A and B are shown apart, each in its own frame.
Chain A
Amino acid sequence: MRSATEIVDRISSTLNGVALTGAALAIIVMVASAGFQVIARYIFDAPPIWTEETARYAMVWAGLLGASAAFRMKQDPTLFPDMVKREGGRGLALALVRAAGVFIFVAPILYYSFFGRGMNIAKGFLARTLGREAEMLGVPMVFFTAAIPIAFAFIVIHVIADVLTRLSRISAAGE
C-alpha cells in the first residue's frame, strides 16, 4: 500500500516538474516569437506570418500545462482554502469530495478527446483535429489540441496521488 502510494506520488511530482518545465519553455517561445515580430517589422520591414500563430499555440501549451501545475501546487483561487489543510479522517472525506468534483468535470473532457458520439474514435476531438491544419504553420492541429487531454490527465494523476497520500498518512498515524 505504502509503496504504491509512493510510486503514484513520485509520478505525480515528476509530471509536475515536466509540466512546469514545458510551460516555462513555451513562455520563452512566446517572448521570442513576439519579440522577433517587432524586430522583423522594423528592421526587415517584413513581419513574418508564422510568429503570431507560433506564439498563440505556445500560449495554449503554457496555459494548460500551467493549469495542471497550479492544481498540483494548490494555487487555484478557492473560497475556503483552510479546508484543503485539514488532515485525518475529516481531511480525507473533504479530499474525496474534491476528487469527485474534479472527476465529474474532467471525465467528459478526456472521454470526448478520444471518442466522438457513439464511441466513435474517428469522430473524437483528437482525430478531428488530426485532419485539420494550422493556418500558417501547416502542421496538423492535433499538435496543439493534444495539450488538453495531456493536461487533464496530469490533473487526474495529481488527484489520485493526493488522496492516496492522505490515506497512507492516516494509516501511518494509526500504526
Chain B
Amino acid sequence: ADTVKVALDSPPDLEQSGSYVWANTFVKYLNEHGMEAEEYQRGALGGDDELLDQVSQGLVEVAMAPVKSAGGLDSLIFGLYLPYFFTDMAQVDTALYDGGMLAKINEGTTPKGVRVLAVDSVGVGTGIFNTKHPVNTMADLGDLRMRALDETQIDLFESWGSTGTVVSWAEVPNALQTGVADGYLNPPFVPLMFGHTDFIKHFTDANISQSVRIVIASEDWYEGLTDEERKTVDDAVKAADKANRDWLSGRSGILGKLREAGVEVVELSDEARDEFIKASEAVYKKGQLTAEQIDAWVKAKTK
C-alpha cells in the first residue's frame, strides 16, 4: 500500500501545538504497527482548500484541518463553534462519542469523500483579547470594535452590544495597532505565538468556545483498507486523541505566560458569564445550524 501522507497544519512543536501532538502520535503509532506513514510540513501540499480537495479525491490520506473544511460539506459540525455551548473538552468528547455526533457528522461528509477521523484540541478555551481596557462585563465591550472572521461573528459581537469588522489575518497586527480593530477572540496561545503581546494588553478568560480543529481522512482510502489495517488506524486515532487530551491538561500554565508577557488577565464572574451566555444563545438561530441540528447537539452533550 501507499505511504499514508499526513498533512500538518502547524509547526512540528510537541510543546506548543496540540494539533502536532495528535498528528505525531498518529504517525508514530501507524509506523510502529506496520503501516508506513509520513508527516508533510504545514503548507507543503497546499492550503486548507487544496488539502480538502486532495483528501476528497484520495490523493492525500490524512490532513489536519480547520472545522470549516468539513463544515463546507455538511454544516452539522459547526455545532463545535456554538458560543458558550460546551464547558470543556470532556463535554465535546461526550457529544462526539457517547452522543454519536461524530458518526452523524460523517453521514453528511463521507458521501463527499471526506471522513472526519477526530476532533483535536489546540489549546484552552477561546477568550477576549483587546488593546484598550479590561473587560469584566458585557457592557465593557461597548466601545470596542472587534476583529471578526465572518458574518456569524459580527452577529455575535452585535448581540453582545459590541461591533465587529472583518479583517484578514495577515493584516490583524496592523489593524490592532492602528485601531481599525481593538481586539479579537482567540485561544490564549495565539498572541504569544504570533508576537501580538506588544500591543494586546488585556485578556478575559471567558472560555467562549473550545479551541478545536479536526482531522480529515480520505473516505476512499479508509474504505479501501483491510479490516486489520482499519483497526490499526482506529487504534492510532484513539492513541492520538488520548495524547492530545493529555497535552491539553498540561496547558493551564498558559495564562501565567500571558501575564509574564505583560497581558492583564481577567476572570469572568458567574453573573457576568451568565449575561454572555444569554446574549449568545440569541445568535444560535442566526448561524449556520438549523433548529434540529442544534437540538441534536443539545441532546448529545448531555448523554
Residue B72, interface by CB 8 Å = yes
> Measured between alpha carbons, how far is A52 from B166 in the docked complex, in Å?
9
Residue B57, interface by CB 8 Å = yes
User: Which residues from chain B contact A82 at a C-beta distance below 8 Å?
Assistant: none
Residue A175, interface by CB 8 Å = no
Whether A117 contacts B151 in the complex (CB less than 8 A), given A47-B166, A131-B112, comes out as no
Cβ–Cβ contact A49 & B150, under 8 A? yes
> Measured between alpha carbons, how far is A123 from B56 in the docked complex, in Å?
9
B interface secondary structure, majority = mixed
> Measured between alpha carbons, how far is A116 from B58 in the docked complex, in Å?
11
Cβ–Cβ contact A123 & B57, under 8 A? yes
Per the 8 Å Cβ criterion, residues 106-165 of A in contact with B are: 116-117, 123, 128, 131-133, 135-136
A4-21 interface bits toward B, Cβ cutoff 8 Å, 1 = contact, 0 = none: 000000000000000000
> Measured between alpha carbons, how far is A117 from B59 in the docked complex, in Å?
10
Contacts between the two chains (Cβ within 8 Å), count? 27
User: Which residues from chain B contact A123 at a C-beta distance below 8 Å?
Assistant: 56-57, 113
B65 to chain A, nearest CB (A): 15
Per the 8 Å Cβ criterion, residues 49-99 of B in contact with A are: 53, 56-58, 72-73
Whether A136 contacts B57 in the complex (CB less than 8 A), given A47-B165, A131-B112, comes out as no
> Measured between alpha carbons, how far is A52 from B154 in the docked complex, in Å?
15
Q: List 17 A-B contacts (CB under 8 A).
A: A41-B165, A45-B163, A46-B163, A49-B148, A49-B150, A49-B151, A49-B154, A49-B166, A52-B168, A116-B57, A117-B57, A117-B58, A123-B57, A123-B113, A128-B56, A132-B72, A135-B150
Cβ–Cβ contact A136 & B150, under 8 A? yes
User: Which residues from chain A contact B57 at a C-beta distance below 8 Å?
Assistant: 116-117, 123
> Measured between alpha carbons, how far is A45 from B165 in the docked complex, in Å?
10
4 additional contacts (CB under 8 A) given A117-B58, A128-B53: A49-B150, A49-B154, A49-B166, A136-B150
Closest to B113 in A: A123
A39-75 interface bits toward B, Cβ cutoff 8 Å, 1 = contact, 0 = none: 0010001110100100000000000000000000000
A interface secondary structure, majority = loop
User: Which residues from chain A contact B53 at a C-beta distance below 8 Å?
Assistant: 128
> Measured between alpha carbons, how far is A117 from B151 in the docked complex, in Å?
35
> Measured between alpha carbons, how far is A171 from B72 in the docked complex, in Å?
56
A149 to chain B, nearest CB (A): 16
Whether A136 contacts B56 in the complex (CB less than 8 A), given A47-B165, A49-B166, A52-B166, comes out as no
Closest to A125 in B: B53
> Measured between alpha carbons, how far is A11 from B294 in the docked complex, in Å?
54
User: Which residues from chain A contact B72 at a C-beta distance below 8 Å?
Assistant: 132-133
User: Which residues from chain B contact A135 at a C-beta distance below 8 Å?
Assistant: 150
Closest to B151 in A: A49
A138 to chain B, nearest CB (A): 10
Most buried by B among A41, A131, A132: A132
> Measured between alpha carbons, how far is A41 from B180 in the docked complex, in Å?
9
Closest to A37 in B: B166
Closest to B59 in A: A117
User: Which residues from chain B contact A132 at a C-beta distance below 8 Å?
Assistant: 72
User: Which residues from chain B contact A45 at a C-beta distance below 8 Å?
Assistant: 163
Top 8 nearest A-B pairs (CB, nearest first) are: A49-B166, A47-B165, A49-B151, A132-B72, A117-B57, A135-B150, A116-B57, A123-B57
A30 to chain B, nearest CB (A): 16
User: Which residues from chain B contact A128 at a C-beta distance below 8 Å?
Assistant: 53, 56
B34-59 interface bits toward A, Cβ cutoff 8 Å, 1 = contact, 0 = none: 00000000000000000001001110
